[in-house]
Structure 1
Amino acid sequence: MTKILLTIHILAVIIAIGPVAVAASMFPPTARKALASGNDADMATLRLLNRICKVYALVAIAVPVFGFAVAGILHVTGDLWIIVSIVLTGLAALVLGLLVLPYQQRVLDGKPTPTAQLAMYTGLFNLLWAVVTVVMIFRPGSSLAG
């Protein structure tokens, strides 16, 4: 059962977080192009990228759900690497929900939005997930680390 839950957890990361990371990263340069040109096709692309981010962000709820299930089965919920991963995952979710998606919506609503700031928030979101990946691989404080 542990291997099945771990497989689902990892697949959820790949299938849900990957598209959000890519679509969110594509949004700022496409927004700059759309704002400069006023091209309807660029705006349609922005709407699609935003929808990908929103839909896959909801799908990504499976990541911590299955992560907690695996950690519980393995009795590692109190380990440093799990706690750090949980905190960083929470921060990534907050960055996405409170900064990236609202800034994307501002662009879609035609409100003045600094795309460089949106790119920075997107980069922070992606950086947090990269750090979570490293923590999950190296597991600091774990008897298996090293």
Structure 2
Amino acid sequence: MTEFLLSVHVLAAIIAIGPVTVAASMFPAFTRRAATEPADGPSVTVLRTLHRICRVYACVGIVVPIFGLATAISLGVLGDTWLIVSIALTAAAAGVLALMVLPDQSKILATLTGAAPPAALPRTVTAQLAMYTGTFNTLWATVTVLMIIRPGSTTGA
């Protein structure tokens, strides 16, 4: 059963979190392009798609910690420090995504598609979103490394 839980956990991480990290990372660059196009331009369409990917896969990503916890219980490592740190970092990443990245993406889309979109968005808007996205990606990369290294692992790796 542990193998099944771990398999679902890893597959969910790849399938759900991967697209969010890529789409969120692409969003600031397309925002800068879209700011120079009309409100119905191709870059705005791309932004809508990237935002939808982030929203949908963030919801699907809930499966990752659920199966991660189930795997940890099955392996009997729920109290290990590396796992507790991973859980905290995962919660932080989810918070950054839900409270900073997704709302900023929504605001940018609303601004760009509004009745009178600005001639250009201030660079600080995209820079801030890029910083939040980088923070999210760094947190997930750290969790991934912790999951691979697993201090005290019984695999001998």
| TM-score, reference length from structure 2 | 0.88
Instruction: Decide whether aligned partners of structure 1 residues 26 and 71 sit closer, same or farther in structure 2, where only a CA change above 3 A counts.
Output: same
Q: Which residue of 2 aligns with 1:91?
A: 92
TM-score, length-scaled by structure 1: 0.94
Match of 2:14 in 1: 14
Q: Unmatched 5+ residue regions in structure 2?
A: 113-120
Per-residue CA distance 1:55-102 (angstroms, 9 max, x = gap): 000000000000000000111000011101100000000000000000
- Equivalent position amino acid for 1:115 in 2: T
Measured in 1, the distance between the counterparts of 2:2 and 2:95 equals 29
Q: Which has the higher helix share?
A: 1
* Aligned residues with identical type, % of pairs: 57
What is the SS of the residue equivalent to 2:79? coil
Alpha-carbon distance in structure 1 between the residues aligned to 2:16 and 2:147: 17
> Could you say what the CA RMSD is over the residues aligned between the two structures, in angstroms?
1.5
The size of the alignment, in residue pairs, is: 145
1:123 aligned to which of 134, 137, 142: 134
Flag as ranges the 4+ runs of structure 1 deviating above 3 A: 143-146
Q: Which runs of 5+ in 1 are unaligned?
A: none
Larger radius of gyration: 2
